[in-house]
Structure 1
Amino acid sequence: MDEHNLKEFLNSKVDFYNQPSFIAADPICIPHLFTKKQDIEIAGFFAAIFAWGNRTTIINKSKELLQLMDNAPHQFVLHHQPKDLKKLEGFKHRTFNTTDLLYCIEFFNMHYSNNNSLENAFTKGMQKKDATIENGLNGFYHYFFSLPYISQRTKKHIASPEKNSSCKRLNMYLRWMVRNDTTGVDFGIWKNISPSQLIIPIDVHVARVAKRFNLLQRHQTDWQSALELTKYLRTLDATDPVKYDFALFGTGVMEKL
């Protein structure tokens, strides 16, 4: 397939999958349960962090957690009492357990006690003129783990480029919060990060499809492969390269290309 036909093909897949019908079976349905900005941010964060494995399980575990938080996550992280935290004991999703959850609650309590949005947690590392999402994700990692008494086990749940992780789940979360188009799938509620800066959320499915179309040469699925693929996608659309996540993920998972 030549480059012109490939672009048309990928654009058609974006148009097909980037529709409200995509929401129900995808973890993005979790933040769509809410209308308050901070609830969207917190619910979306947990749904993204849980997003590995079966999508139905991810959605169900996210809903379970939010029910334990009275379906008001912003209110819960700011105003919970010790007895409220007792309800969280025993929560588990794969390797994410109560220890990890309680640390996240403590972080959100600290952050939202001093900030109106989670966006500036990701832009703390992007203050310099030439800063990138890589700087933002590394800055978020260090800010997130700036509280005392961190369990080392919790650190494995938050990726960072400096550890050469693909940061798939955080890049997906950023897509949800930053991209803003007319379809209503992504939220576009963060305005200080541009869609043009975003990095493609790459996992084995996306990488497989990208290699099938010769968009990616790197063998490992890591941060460098995310940068390589995004660099190519910017040649297709410099202003919104990660819209192609819909095409690559859709053809890889839904169509099992």
Structure 2
Amino acid sequence: MKLIADNLRITKTDVQDALNVRDPRPVQDLVKLCAAKMAFAIDVNTGPLGKSPEEGMVFFIKAVESVTNLPLLIDTSNPAAMRAGVEAAHNRVIINGFSLEPQKIEKILPLAQEHDADIVGFLLYPDSRVPKDEAERFEVALELFERAEAAGVSKERIIIDPIVPPLAWEDGIVQARSVLNVIRTLPDLMGFPVRTIAGVSNLTTGAKDKAKKNLMEQAYVAMLAAAGLDYALLDILNGETVLAANAAAILAREDIFSWGMIPG
């Protein structure tokens, strides 16, 4: 299980301010911290970038690539910003992402074929609703793969995001278990090794008690590793959660165990 830093978010005041004045230093400093914590990749979460989306996205891509050669997940719902980011990037790119929403099928999915890039597929209905159970998630996954194939994107390029629910939802715990079962069984259903990604912090959306938030994320990231998750999107600067993720990944492997595997 590889860890992807989700720390670069437009919702953070310092990141938004950096964009407003086009100062790359706050972005560079944050990315350098994430890279030092051994992130596999950086999620560049710019939001929709409603004002000058192409220019804003290029600003972020250049700032990030000036301090790291790690893979980049370009995370925006704006098709113009997404295209600008993919075309500006020199690092390996993962498009994050598309769903059955018509605009994303038409505008974002083709970018994966044009640039031979991996792309995250969200298990969401065309109106952005989250499926209620495993059966519905499997149905959406099948349709995502069909749409990708029709667009000329090979199934091996798709990374499925089953959508981790907030525990605060009425059925949050049930949905969280459903996500684990989907990760575990989707490869057998599809008949090939489907890659999966999950946003760990989604689980604790709205949580105000930091200690409780950390505890639930640590427990769930271990369950995700046991289910066979390929990529965990999380706060790479949260040392406790990262340690739990790394330890869980060790236990999920079939290698001969050594205490040296565990980071100090």
TM-score by length of structure 2 reads: 0.35
Which has more strand, going by share of residues? 2
TM-score by length of structure 1 reads: 0.35
Structure ranking higher on relative contact order (CA contacts 8 Å, 6+ apart):
1
Which has more helix, going by share of residues? 1
